[in-house]
């Protein structure tokens, strides 16, 4: 028995008598060894006459030439799809047979191609052998590196035939085409909303689950999207990489720069179909439309008052909390609105930027100028519903209404006499103080 085993081993050695001196690999034929040695020497003697690409084997060149000739001699008997290589057809047939011969030993996941398994294993090992020479970022797949390099080169080889928009990756173009076809194959099971991308559906589902997996390490604020976190981090770093070429103002987001540029161009692409007013931002148009619809989606939980803009609700909430975050550095007075602080500062600076075109009188607040203009125009927009008398100030109408209601809100602390107008109370108080000045 021992003799038979030794004889069998000799037969194996005789079967592959040609050994590589570099890696000790053995071959049955000398020509196979010669071809193999080119792996070590880097010799590629077969060159494509079309694109000058070189190969170590003649067979590889023959296969490559089909890229130029368009020849695809291997046909799938199931779907009639054609291939340039027999190996590609063999792999493709597994789509129809469901055969996945390559299994991951870690998670038991199976693959149709050996290369797909090799790439998958890097998920477990964390191996990323492909590195970008520009930013040193690493990738598990060569294809991902090739696509990533287009970020640096600006190359966008995939163009939409409908709108001519270009993309760095073929997958991005395929997804984009659904916009034109109206294809939204991914549906939310909660609200039945449809999405053209699966990733958009995954992100959207966090609205229902409340999941915010991306957390800022500085302030612990959480976000539903990684991109939102990246943008938020610029608040802490002060990074504003997008600069306006006109006024040199910088922005944290590219979208904000694009919107800002419309200020210089005067571009207002969003138009209201009701009053034809135009806006630089879509969000501004959406907010504006609530004037026509009367929609006020933001409600105060304290007094149930509703607002058309979320910012107005946030400001309003300060009334209930007594929060006044804006302080005047001159007199230390606090305000709940930033705009109120800016207006107040004019008391100290004496600034009156609003001027009447008729008499050149100046005002610190635009509202006062608007009211003042009624002196020149004779406009009296406020009417009493009782006697139909008109007034140019709303406050004057409110004071006048007390004639009809009998309301006298101003009371003398000395004799408890009441007055409908504050100035009448001031004049009456002089009786008690002995002040007889006019």
pLDDT single digits (tens) 73-82: 999 999 999 9
β partners of residue 187: 194
How confident is the model over 325-361, as pLDDT tens digits? Answer: 999 999 999 998 888 999 999 999 999 999 999 999 9
Q: Is the whole-model pTM more than 0.75?
A: no
Is 295:287 a contact under the CB 8 Å cutoff? no
Tokens of 133: 């020479």
Cα distance between residue 243 and residue 258, in whole Å: 10
- pLDDT of the residue at 3: 44
Buried b (16+ CB within 10 A) or exposed e, 141-158: eeebbebbeeeeeeeeeb
| Residue 291 three-state SS | helix
DSSP-assigned states of every residue in 406-429: ----EE-TTT--EESSHHHHHHHH
CA distance 335 to 438: 35
How confident is the model at residue 337, as a pLDDT?
87
With a cut of 80, say whether residue 259 has pLDDT above it: yes
Give the chain's mean pLDDT. Answer: 89
* Cβ count within 10 A of residue 321: 9
Q: What letter would DSSP give residue 4?
A: H
* Angstrom distance (rounded) from CA 372 to CA 392: 9
Tokens of 97: 């047979």
Q: Check residue 92 and give its pLDDT.
A: 92
pLDDT given for residue 433 in this prediction:
84
Q: Residue 431 and residue 437: Cα distance in Å, rounded?
A: 11
Q: What is the mean pLDDT of residues 256-278?
A: 92
Residue with tokens 């107008």: 421
Rounded Cα distance, 92 and 82, in Å? 10
Q: What integer pLDDT is reported at residue 101 of this predicted model?
A: 93
Mean pLDDT of 251-256: 88
Backbone angles phi, psi at 379, to 5 degrees: -70, 130
For 110-128, how does the pLDDT look when each residue is reduced to its tens digit (9 = 90+)?
Answer: 999 998 999 999 999 999 9
Q: Which of 36, 37, 35, 17 is nearest to 26 (CA)?
A: 17
Q: Taking the CA of residue 381 as centre, how many other CA atoms within 13 Å lie in the half-sphere pointing to its CB?
A: 10
Say if strands 250-251 and 418-419 run parallel, antiparallel, or are unpaired. unpaired
Count the Cβ atoms, other than its own, within 10 Å of residue 112. 19
- Where do we find the tokens 């938020």? 232
Q: Are 109 and 126 in contact (CB under 8 A)?
A: no
User: Is residue 262 predicted with pLDDT exceeding 80?
Assistant: yes
- The pLDDT of residue 172 is 87
pLDDT of 437 reads 60
Express each pLDDT in 38-62 by its tens digit. Answer: 989 999 999 999 899 999 998 889 9
Contacts of 53-60 with C-beta under 8 Å, sequence gap 24+, read none
Q: What is the pLDDT of residue 379?
A: 92
Summarised one tens digit per residue, pLDDT across range 146-165 is 999 998 999 999 999 989 99
Which candidate, 416, 410, 411, 376, places its Cα nearest to that of 392?
376
Q: What is the pLDDT of residues 376-408, one digit of tens each?
A: 999 999 999 999 999 988 989 999 999 999 999
pLDDT band for 14, please (50, 70, 90 cuts).
low
**Cα separation, 320 vs 322, whole angstroms:** 6
Nearest alpha-carbon partner for 35 in 58, 5, 3, 68: 58
Assign 361 to helix, strand or coil: coil
Q: How far is CA 23 from the centre of its chain?
A: 52
Determine the Cα–Cα distance for residues 8 and 409; give it in Å rounded to an integer.
118
- Within a 10 A sphere around the Cβ of 84, how many other Cβ atoms? 19
């Amino acid at each position: 028995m021992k003799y038979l085993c030794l004889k069998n081993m000799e037969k194996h050695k005789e079967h592959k008598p040609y050994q590589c001196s570099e890696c000790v690999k053995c071959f049955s034929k000398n020509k196979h060894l010669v071809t193999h040695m080119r792996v070590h020497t880097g010799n590629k003697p077969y060159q494509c006459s079309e694109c000058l690409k070189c190969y170590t084997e003649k067979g590889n060149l023959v296969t490559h030439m089909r890229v130029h000739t368009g020849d695809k001699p291997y046909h799938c008997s199931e779907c009639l799809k054609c291939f340039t290589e027999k190996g590609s057809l063999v792999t493709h047939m597994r789509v129809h047979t469901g055969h996945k011969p390559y299994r991951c030993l870690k998670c038991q996941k199976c693959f149709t191609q050996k290369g797909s398994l090799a790439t998958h294993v890097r998920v477990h090992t964390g191996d990323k052998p492909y590195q970008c020479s520009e930013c040193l970022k690493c990738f598990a797949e060569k294809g991902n590196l090739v696509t990533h390099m287009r970020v640096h080169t600006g190359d966008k080889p995939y163009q939409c035939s409908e709108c001519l928009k270009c993309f760095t990756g073929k997958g991005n173009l395929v997804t984009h085409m659904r916009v034109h076809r109206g294809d939204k194959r991914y549906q939310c099971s909660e609200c039945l909303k449809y999405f053209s991308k699966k990733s958009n559906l995954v992100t959207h589902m966090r609205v229902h689950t409340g999941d915010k997996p991306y957390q800022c390490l500085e302030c612990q604020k959480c976000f539903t999207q990684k991109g939102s976190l990246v943008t938020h981090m610029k608040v802490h770093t002060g990074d504003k990489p997008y600069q306006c070429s006109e006024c040199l103002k910088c922005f944290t987001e590219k979208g904000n720069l694009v919107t800002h540029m419309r200020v210089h161009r005067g571009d207002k692409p969003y138009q209201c179909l009701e009053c034809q007013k135009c806006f630089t931002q879509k969000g501004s148009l959406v907010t504006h439309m609530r004037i026509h619809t009367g929609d006020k989606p933001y409600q105060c939980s304290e007094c149930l008052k509703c607002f058309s803009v979320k910012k107005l609700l946030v400001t309003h909430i300060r009334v209930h909390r007594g929060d006044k975050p804006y302080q005047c550095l001159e007199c230390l007075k606090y305000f709940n609105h930033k705009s109120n602080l800016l207006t107040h500062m004019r008391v100290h600076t004496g600034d009156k930027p609003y001027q009447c075109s008729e008499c050149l009188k100046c005002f610190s607040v635009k509202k006062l100028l608007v009211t003042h203009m009624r002196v020149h125009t004779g406009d009296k927009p406020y009417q009493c519903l009782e006697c139909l008398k008109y007034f140019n100030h709303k406050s004057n109408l409110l004071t006048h209404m007390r004639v009809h209601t009998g309301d006298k809100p101003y009371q003398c602390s000395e004799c408890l006499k009441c007055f409908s107008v504050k100035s009448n109370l001031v004049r009456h108080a002089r009786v008690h103080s002995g002040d007889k000045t006019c």
